Amino acid sequence: MIFTGFPRMVGLSFFPRLCQLTIIGQDIKHMEGLESCPLLQELWVVECHLTEISGLQGCPQLQKLYLYDNKICEIKNLDSQINVEVLWLNNNCITQIQGLSTLQNLKELNLADNCIEQIGHSLDPNVSLQNLNLSGNKISSFKELAPLARLPHLKELALNDPTSTPDPVCLLWNYATHVLYHMPALQRLDMYDISSKQVKEAAEVTVIKKMMYYNMRVHTAQRHLAETRLNLLEKKKTLSRLPEEHIRTLDHNLKNLERELCKKSTSMLKDGIPHAVEYSTNRSDPTTDTSCDLTMEQKIQRKIEVLRERLVLWTRRLDEFEAWYERSLAKATSMMECNIQFLLMELESVGNIRLEEGCDTDSWFTSCQELMLSRFSSSDYKPHSITGIKISRVIRIQNSALRLRFDEKLKTVLAREESVNFYENYRRRLEHLFYIADPEKTDEKEELLCILEEGFKSAKEYKASGREEAVPLSNSLIVAEQPRIDYVFHQAQQDPSTDPTDTIPFRQGHVILSKVFLGHSAPIREGETIERGKYPRESSVYLNVDTKQRTSVKRLSSSPETPTASECSPRRRHWFVFDHELILPEYVIYFEYITEEPDLPAPLHHYTDKCDQPSRDTILDGDTLSMEPVLKPQPKLLSLDEKILLSVAGANVLSQITVLNLHSNSLSKMKEISRLTALRHLTISFNEFTCLDDISHMPNLEFLDVSYNRLVTLEGLRGLGQLKQLDVRWNKLTNAKEDTAVLRKHTPGLLKLDTRHNPWSRPDTIRMTILGRLSTLTHLDGVLVTEEEAAEAVRIAAGSKINRASLLAYSRTDRERPRSLSLLSTAQLLCRLSPAPWGLSQDLEPDWTAKITALSLDNQRISKLINLNTLVNLRWASFNDNIISKVEGLECCLKLEELSLNNNNINTLNGLPKLPYLNKLSVNGNKLSSVEASVLDQLPNMSFLSMENNYITSLHGIQRARSLLELYIGNNQISTSRDIYYLKGLTSLIILDLYGNPLLERLENYRIYVVFHLPSLKALDGFAVEVTECESAKDMFGGRLTADMVGEKLGHSNYCDITYLTLQSCFIRMVDLSPSEMFVNLQSVNLDHNNLTSFSGLIYLPNIKALCLNYNHIESILPRQKTHLTNRQMLHSKVHSSGYGKQNLSRGNRDAEATGSLEPLMGSLEVLHLSHNGISNMANLQLSRLTNLKALFLRGNDISQVEGLEGLHQLRHLVLDRNRIKALAENSFISQNVLLELHLAENRIRELNHLYPLMELRVLYIGMNKLQDIMELEKLEILPSLTELSLVGNPVARNSLHRPTVVLHLPQLQVLDGVTVTLEERTRAELLSADGSQCTQCPGAFPPAGEINLPGVFPIMPHTAPLRGMNVSGLQNFVHGHDNLPSNVDEAHPHYMYNYKKHKHSNAARSYQTDTAFRHIRRTGGHLPASGVPFQNREQDNRFPNDGKPPPE
C-alpha cells in the first residue's frame, strides 16, 4: 500500500492485514493509527517531517523500518520492536546512538548523514548486526571505532559512503589499516571489497610492527625511570652517610653506658640493696649510701638522655632524606607514566597523534623558549626570590584530527563573515595563549591527556564542572599559573607530610601553548557572568589584569608595591573562548622556576655546603660524647669460654647468669652461650655475627639485641619460646619471607621486633609482610601495631596463596586476545577489560578450571606457583611483583603462550617445562645470573624475551632461541664483545636492548659494532638503526679479523690452544688479534683470497712461523702512509719500462737503505706466501725486516726488479715465477749466501748476470724466459753447488742443443730440464767438446744431499736417486690444515706443466715415469705418493706442529 496526499496518517483501520506501508514526501510529523495494523512487517515513512519515532507499539511483527530524510533528533520508542532486522534513520538530526538495546535481531542499520560524534558501547547489544552505515557524521577518532570490534557478525561498514560526505576519521592516516586490524571479519569497507586474506595480513603485520616499536619505546621510558631511581638512591646514600655515622657513634656510646649502668646495678644487687633494674628504662636514684658511686650513676643517666636526644635528631634527618627520596621518585614515576601515556596515545591513534620532544637545535623549541621568557616577569614572583624560568622540556603536539577540526571550523567562521576586511585580516586574530589546569577542579594529568587526544572541552562542560562557560586562557604566565599556585600552597598547609621548609612547592610546572582564533572579542562587562548568551556576537571575551586585580600578588607580597608598566599593560589579559574547536593545542612546555637558593629541599642544604668547618650538629655531638663520664675503652673479646663468660657476667656459675652484655667485641661465634639456660637478657650488638646458629634452645631468653652486626639471615634461631623483644637493626637482612618464617616457628611469643636499616629486597611491602606472618607483634620498628593494620596484614597474607578464591577473582575464560593496541600483557588486558565469568557464591561446574585461559595474579605476595595443575587450557599468565623464587608448578599448563614473572626472586629458570606454544616470556627484575640454554631449548616458538634488571654475565645459550624477534636484556652484567657473537645466530632478531650493561662502556664504537654483526637489527637500545650507522659499521668493521671472529669461526674461545688458523675467502681487510698474548701458540696462518693490503695486526703474533697471504692486495708489511704524487710520478709508477736490461739502481739502493735501517719484525716467521698480490715493487714490501725468513713465495705478481732482500740472510727458498722480471741487478741477491732454491720461470729474463752471491744455490728454475744466447748459460759456472736446472721454454733450449754445453760447463749438475744427467750423456758431451774445440773443465764438488733441510721443503735429490718427479709444494703445504688450491699446484710445478704438454723426451722410460708422477700430483693436490718420493729419510724440524703435516680432520 502506498499512502500519499494526506497530512496525517488516517484510515489505516480499514487495512487490518496490511503487511507493507510506504509514505513518501508527505507533511507528516507524527506516526499514528498503526495499532490497527498488527501484521505490518515493512514500514516506509521517508522524506517527510517526522520529529520523533512513535506509534509503533502495536506492530510487534515489524521487520523493516525506513525513516530516513526526516527531522528525528532522538532514537526512542523502539523497545517493543524486537523483530526489526533493518532500520534506516539516515539523513536526520540524531546526535547520539541510543534506544537500540532491545533490537537483538537487527542486521542492518543506516545512520548516515546525522550529527553523531560518538559510538561508545551503544551498539554492544546488537550482536546480530551485519551492515552498518555511519557516513556523513562527525566521528573523528579511532577510539570511537574500537567498540565496533565487539560486533561478531559485522560484515559491512561504511564511514565514507559515496552518497555522503566522509566522516573526519576517514581522513586520518592509516584509517583502513586500523579498521582492518580491529575488525578482521569485515568483508566490505566503504564499498570496497576487503575479503582478501593478503589485505588483512598486511594490516596485521603493520600493526604488529608498530606495537613492537612502541613496546620498545615504553621499555626505554621504564629504563630511564630505573636510572633515575638509581641516581636518587645514590644521592640518598651519600646524604645519609653522615647521619648514619653519627647514629652509629652515638648508639655505640649509648650501649656502652647502658652496659656500665647494668654492671653497677648488678653490683648493688650483690651487696644486698634492692634495686629494680629495667634494661631499657631509667633508673631511680638510690637512697642509701653504698659502695656504688651514686653520682656516677646519675651522670650516666644524664648522658644517656642527651645521647637519645641526639639520636632522635639524626634519625629525623634520615627520615627527611627518605621522604625527599620518596617525593623525588614519585615525581619521576609520574613523569614516566605520563611519557608512557603519550606513547600509548601515539600507538592507539596509529600515527595520527605524534608527540615530538624538542631540543635546542629545533627552531620551534627556541621559539617556545623565547615566548615563555617574554611572558614571564620576575617581579610577579619577587616575594619568593624567583629570578627566572628554565625551560626543561618542550613537546610538540601533532594531532591530525584536531588540526582538521580547527581548519574546518575556521573556514566555516570565515565563510559566515560578511566583512571583506575581517576575512583578509583574520591572521591578526590568531594568538598563542597559555592554558594551565586548575588542580582544585580537575585532575591535571587526566586533563592534559584528554586535551592532547580530544582537544579542549566544550564551554558547556566547563560550566558543568563549576567554572565559566568558556575555555579559560591567558597570554601571561602568572595569570595562567595563579590557580595552581594557590592550590599548591593550600595543600602544603593541609598536608603534614609536605616539607614545611620548602618555600616554593610549585617549583616545577607545565603549560599548554595553543593557537587560538579569537575572532570578534570584547572586554568582560562589569558584574556580568561569562556566558555565551550574554555575548552572542563575540567569539571570545577578555579581562585586563594588573597587580591590584591579581590575588596572587596579595598572597605573595605582604607590603603593597607600585605596579610596573608591564604589570598594568592591557596586553596582560585573561581570555575566555566560547568555541573550543577554535583552540588548537600545539605545545606542552615543562618549566622550572629559578631561585637564588640551590635547587634542593631545605633538609639537604646542610649537607651540600662544602666548607671545611664542622657543622653545628657535629660540634654538639662532640660535646655530648665528651660529657662525663667518659668511659675507657675495654679490650675486645675474640672468643668465649666458660671462664670469660663468668668474668663478664660477674657470676660464680653459669646457671646464675640471667643478663649478659657482650656489646662491642669482635665475636662471630659463641658456642658456649647455649649453656646459659637461665639467661633472660642478651646483648651482642656491634660484633661480627653473620648468622645466629649458636643462639638456640634457650627457654628463658626474653630480650635479644643483635643490632649493628652483619647478619644475612635469621636461620639458626631455635627454641626461643619466651623471646619477647628482638632488635636486628643495622644488619644485612634481605629476605623477609624466610626470616619471618624462622621467627614464626621458633619465637611464638615475640611482641616487639625492630628491623629498620636493613637492605630488604622489597622495603615498600616489608611491614605488611612481617605483620601478616607474625600475628603476635604489638610493636614493629618502634611503631605500635593497630588492630586494623594487623587485620589487613592477615587478610593480605591469606591471599598470598593461589587458591580457589584467587582463581575466581583473577581469571578469565576469553578465547582470543582483545583487538586492542594496548601494550599490556594479554592476561592483564583481559582482567581489565572483561568481567569475571563467575561470582564467588556461584555454583561451579566440576571442570570450571579447565575453562580458564587467562590468569593475572600480580602483586599478590605469592611465594609458590601451586594449584595450577587443572588449568590445562591456560594461555596467558602474569605473576608480576610477587616473591616467587622457583619456576615450578606449570607442568600441566602446556598451552601457555605468554608468561610474565617480573619482579620476583627467581635465580634460575630450571623447572620451566617444555612449552611449545610460548611466544612471550618476561622475567625482569629477578636474580638470574645466566641464560640457560637447556631452558630455551624447550621454548621453540619464543619470539619475545625480556630479562632486564638481573645479574646475567654472559649471553651464552641465547643462540638456542632461534625464533627470537625482540630481546630486552638491559641493566645486567654483560661485559665482553664475545657475547655479541652469540646473537649472530638469531637471524630474525630485529629489536635488541643492551642498555645499562658494562659492555657499552668497555667496547669502543659499541653501537656500530653491534649493528655490523647483527645486520637484521631495526632498533638498538631504544633507538632505530639508521642507514648511516649501517654504512659506518661496514666501513669500520667490514673485513676485520678479530679474536671474536676467530672464536665464532672455530666455535670456541680457547685461543691459547690454537696452533693453526685457516680463514680463506672471508673478505678480511684488517687483522686485529689483540691482545696477541692470547695467540701465543699460533704458528701457522692461512688468509688466502682476502682483501688485506698489509700484514696489519699479524706482525704482533709472537710465534708465527708460516704465513699464507696469496690472492690478497699486499703492498707492504705495514700500512704505507699515503703520499701526494704528481701526475708524472703516478704515470711512471703505473707504466713499466719497455727497455731490456735497464735498471734503476739508484732507486733500489735508496729503498734498501731505507728498509735496512728499520727495526726487524716477526722474528719467528720462516715461511711466507705472497703469490698473486699484484706486487710491482719488492722494496716497498720491506721484506728485509723479516730477518729469520727461510722461504718466500712471490709467484704471479707484477715484479719487474728483484730488490729489497738485503736483510734476508737466512733465505733458502725463493719463488719469483710469473712476474715481469727483465734482468737481475747487482744487488738483487747480495745477501742470499745460503739460498738453496730459486724459481724465476715465466719472466722476461734475457741475461743471467749477478748470480755470483748464490754460492749455495742447488736448484734453479728459469724456464719460460727469453734466454737466446747459449753464452748466457756459461755464466752459471759461478754457481758451484747447482745440481738441478730447468731451462724449458727458453729460445736457447728450443732444440735441446743446449744440453751438451750445460752438462759440460756444470759438472756438478744432476738434473737438467727435468731429466737426470747420466754418465753416458756427460761422457758424450765431453767427447763432443774435445772434438770441436779445446775446453777447460772446472770440476765442482757436490755436498751430500740432505745436509741442509728446511722443514716443509723437500731436500735436494741425491745424485744416485732415480727420477720420480720434482715437488716444491712441500713449502706451500707447510701451513697446517691448508688444502692447496689448484692455483697452488700450478704455482709449485710450472716446469712440469710445460714439460708434460710441450717437451718430448727421447728416453721413453724416463718420460713415462715423469708423466706418471705429474698425473699423481694433479690428482692428489700437490703431494707425491710415499712410494714415489725419493726423499723418505729427510729430516723434520720439530719446531713446527704435526711435523709439517696437515692436521687431522
pLDDT at 615: 80
**Residue pointed to by grid coordinates 635479644:** 704
**What are the distances in angstroms from CA 826 to CA 27, 223, 920, 1300?**
55, 22, 10, 96
What average pLDDT does this structure show over 865-873?
93
**Residue pointed to by grid coordinates 636474580:** 927
Q: Which region among 394-403, 586-595, 603-612 has the lowest average model confidence (pLDDT)?
A: 603-612
Q: Which region among 173-182, 207-216, 490-499, 623-632 has the lowest average model confidence (pLDDT)?
A: 490-499
Per-residue pLDDT tens digits for 195-220:
999 998 999 899 988 998 999 899 88
Contact 698, 681 (CB under 8 A): no
Q: How many alpha carbons fall within 13 Å on the CB side of residue 1165?
A: 24
- Pair type for strands 386-399 and 583-595: antiparallel
- Pair type for strands 1019-1020 and 1023-1024: antiparallel
pLDDT at 160: 93
**Is residue 884 predicted with pLDDT exceeding 60?**
yes
**Is residue 1372 predicted with pLDDT exceeding 60?**
no
pLDDT at 1341: 37
pLDDT at 1379: 39
CA distance 921 to 939: 10
Secondary structure class of 618 (helix, strand, coil): helix
Give exposure, 899-925, as e/b (b: 16+ Cβ within 10 Å).
bbbbbbbbebbeebbebeebbbbbbbb
Secondary structure class of 394 (helix, strand, coil): strand
Contact 365, 371 (CB under 8 A): no
Per-residue pLDDT tens digits for 240-276:
999 999 999 999 999 999 888 877 766 655 555 444 3
**Residue pointed to by grid coordinates 591527556:** 449
pLDDT at 613: 55
Residues shown for the chain = 1449
Residue 17: DSSP 8-state: T
pLDDT at 1255: 92
CA distance 1276 to 1284: 12
In terms of average pLDDT, the best of 510-519, 548-557, 836-845 is: 510-519
pLDDT at 180: 92
Q: Is the peptide bond before 1075 cis (omega within 30 degrees of 0)?
A: yes
* pLDDT greater at residue 441 or residue 240: 240
Contact 1223, 1141 (CB under 8 A): yes
Nine cell digits for residue 720: 626461643
pLDDT at 465: 85
- Pair type for strands 108-110 and 131-133: parallel
Per-residue pLDDT tens digits for 1240-1273:
999 999 999 999 999 999 999 999 999 998 888 8
Per-residue pLDDT tens digits for 1271-1317:
888 889 999 999 999 999 999 988 777 888 888 888 899 999 999 99
Nine cell digits for residue 981: 657473537
Contact 854, 812 (CB under 8 A): yes
CA distance 526 to 1121: 85
What average pLDDT does this structure show over 46-59?
91
Percentage of residues of the chain with pLDDT beyond 90: 51
Distance between first and last Cα of the chain: 97
**Is residue 134 predicted with pLDDT exceeding 90?**
yes
**Residue pointed to by grid coordinates 624466610:** 738
Q: Which region among 610-614, 1088-1092, 1366-1370 has the lowest average model confidence (pLDDT)?
A: 1366-1370
CA distance 1096 to 67: 87
Contact 968, 1022 (CB under 8 A): no
**Is residue 1156 predicted with pLDDT exceeding 70?**
no
**Is residue 523 predicted with pLDDT exceeding 60?**
yes
**Is residue 89 predicted with pLDDT exceeding 60?**
yes
CA distance 70 to 50: 5
Kindly state the greatest CA–CA separation across the chain.
155
pLDDT at 183: 92
**What are the distances in angstroms from CA 861 to CA 38, 770, 800?**
63, 12, 5
pLDDT at 675: 84
**616: Cβ contacts below 8 Å, ≥ 6 apart:** none
CA 709, chain centre distance (Å): 39
**390: Cβ contacts below 8 Å, ≥ 6 apart:** 591, 592, 593, 594
Average pLDDT, the chain: 82
- Band (420; pLDDT cuts 50, 70, 90): low
Contact 143, 164 (CB under 8 A): no
**Is residue 1428 predicted with pLDDT exceeding 70?**
no
Return the bridge partners of 1193, or none. Answer: 1169, 1215
- Band (1220; pLDDT cuts 50, 70, 90): very high
**Is residue 371 predicted with pLDDT exceeding 50?**
yes
**What are the distances in angstroms from CA 89 to CA 20, 26, 114, 156, 178?**
18, 17, 9, 17, 26
Per-residue pLDDT tens digits for 1127-1136:
555 544 444 4
- Pair type for strands 42-46 and 20-24: parallel
- Amino acid in position 743: L
- Band (518; pLDDT cuts 50, 70, 90): very high
Phi and psi torsions of 391, nearest 5°: -85, 115
DSSP letters, 126-159, are -TT--EEE-TTS----GGGTGGGGG-TT--EEES
What are all long-range contacts of 36-45, with beta carbons under 8 Å and residues at least 24 apart?
36/12, 37/12, 45/70
763: left (phi over 0), alpha (psi -120 to 50) or beta: alpha
What average pLDDT does this structure show over 127-147?
92
pLDDT at 1421: 41
Closest alpha carbon to 1097 in 1123, 1111, 1121, 1079: 1079
pLDDT at 423: 64
* pLDDT greater at residue 349 or residue 1142: 349
CA distance 619 to 626: 11
Nine cell digits for residue 1288: 724449458
- Band (155; pLDDT cuts 50, 70, 90): very high
Per-residue pLDDT tens digits for 737-769:
889 999 999 999 999 999 999 999 888 889 998
- Is the C-alpha dihedral spanning 349, 351, 353, 357 positive or negative? positive
pLDDT at 1449: 37
Per-residue pLDDT tens digits for 982-1013:
898 899 999 999 999 999 999 888 999 999 99
What average pLDDT does this structure show over 374-388?
86
**Is residue 1404 predicted with pLDDT exceeding 50?**
no
Per-residue pLDDT tens digits for 1317-1331:
998 888 888 887 776
Contact 743, 716 (CB under 8 A): no
**Is residue 1335 predicted with pLDDT exceeding 50?**
no
Q: CA-CA-CA-CA torsion for 7, 12, 14, 17, nearest 10 degrees?
A: 150
**Is residue 881 predicted with pLDDT exceeding 60?**
yes
- Band (1193; pLDDT cuts 50, 70, 90): very high
What are all long-range contacts of 899-904, with beta carbons under 8 Å and residues at least 24 apart?
900/825, 900/827, 901/926, 902/926, 902/946, 904/879, 904/880
What average pLDDT does this structure show over 1168-1185?
92
CA distance 689 to 708: 9
Nine cell digits for residue 1416: 699423481
**Is residue 564 predicted with pLDDT exceeding 50?**
no
What average pLDDT does this structure show over 971-983?
90
**What are the distances in angstroms from CA 1020 to CA 217, 824, 968, 1062?**
11, 22, 10, 33
Secondary structure class of 853 (helix, strand, coil): coil
pLDDT at 1238: 95
**Is residue 99 predicted with pLDDT exceeding 90?**
yes
**Is residue 49 predicted with pLDDT exceeding 70?**
yes
Count helices and strands in the chain by DSSP H and E runs? 33, 49
